[in-house]
Amino acid sequence: MRAGAPAADLRAALATMASRSPHLRLGVDCLRFCELVHRHHGGEDTQLFPVVRRTAPHLAQVVDRLEADHRQVSRLLFRVEAAVDQLDEPDAGDAVELVAGALQALADHLLTHLAVEEEALRPFLLSMDEWPADERDVR
């Protein structure tokens, strides 16, 4: 590929490489998932949790726990990303096992995290008639 190539050409080249290399495909998929989770938790931290804190102060401890969980998930995501980076190293003999272990630790933590969200936040969110238009509407 040449510098300045159109984005569509770069995507096509990556897709071709990913289809030929299971390690690259695993890496690309893992990194996409990691980015999605990072963005999702960032949105919860900046948009959802402040509203929950202001409108449902009785859930403050739950929000504290979920924010701490987000920090832990972030560390686990970085562990996955670091393991994925080792897949294409010349001496990457245990890299697949490292990725699998990192993904399992992430999955275990995320499942617990999601259960807390569902149990504690879902009833509150379902009780809201509408989302506050801006911070001044939060009481």
Domain segments of the chain: what residues?
22-137
How far apart CA 1 and CA 34 sit, in angstroms, is 26
Distances (CA, A) of 130 to 33, 63, 107, 124, 127: 30, 20, 32, 12, 9
Question: What SS3 state is found at 135?
Answer: helix
Is 78 in contact with 97 (CB distance < 8 Å)?
no
pTM over 0.95: no
Which residue bears the tokens 């924010």?
A: 67
| Cα atoms found within 13 Å of the Cα of residue 127, Cβ hemisphere only | 8
Structure tokens at 42: 């960032």
* CA–centroid distance for 32 within its chain: 9
- Each residue's pLDDT tens digit in the chain (139 positions)? 456 778 888 778 777 766 656 666 666 777 788 888 889 999 999 999 999 999 899 999 999 999 999 999 999 988 888 888 787 766 766 877 888 899 899 999 999 999 999 999 999 989 888 777 665 544 4
